[in-house]
Amino acid sequence: MAAYPGAMTRVLTFGTFDLFHIGHVNVLLRAADLGDHLTVGVSSDELTMAKKGRYPVYREEHRLAIVSSLACVDDVFVEQSLELKGEYIAEHRADVLVMGDDWKGRFDHHREQCEVIYLPRTAEVSTTDIIQSIRRDLD
């Protein structure tokens, strides 16, 4: 975890955090429990389009404001690229990288920089499912 005994353990996680829901709350609380300082990278609108094939419902400024308002979150920034994880880990001096288990194995190569933990997603809730449910209700 931390580089030396008594040092603050810095946790870094990432997400889109669009249509904020209980699954987002759960992963952020669990990530925060793994250390003393939680930094969250919020996917840019362009990165969200590249990852999900759609723009987020909420603009990145709004998603940043929502995530930064949470008591368990100490710092937020805009994530521009999945390929910059190593740079983000170094920049934020992360001891632990936390990702959802839907990314399991994808970031294992960062174990040279920090501990990598994949947390299970909250069952039966996702932004995609919420959007699909709203669309069905409107039809």
Of 52, 62, 93, 121, which residue is the catalytic one?
A: 52
- In the residue annotation, 85 being an active-site residue is answered as no
CA dihedral over 52, 58, 59, 63, signed as positive or negative: negative
* Exposure on the CB side of residue 34, measured as CA atoms within 13 A: 25
> What's the per-residue H, E or C state across the chain?
CCCCCCCCCEEEEEECCCCCCHHHHHHHHHHHCCCCEEEEEEECHHHHHHHHCCCCCCCHHHHHHHHHCCCCCCEEEEECCHHHHHHHHHHCCCCEEEEEHHHCCCCHHHHHCCEEEEECCCCCCCHHHHHHHHHHHHC
Of 33, 51, 106, 128, which residue is the catalytic one?
A: 51
- In the residue annotation, 52 being an active-site residue is answered as yes
Q: Among all residues, which ones are annotated catalytic? A: 51-52
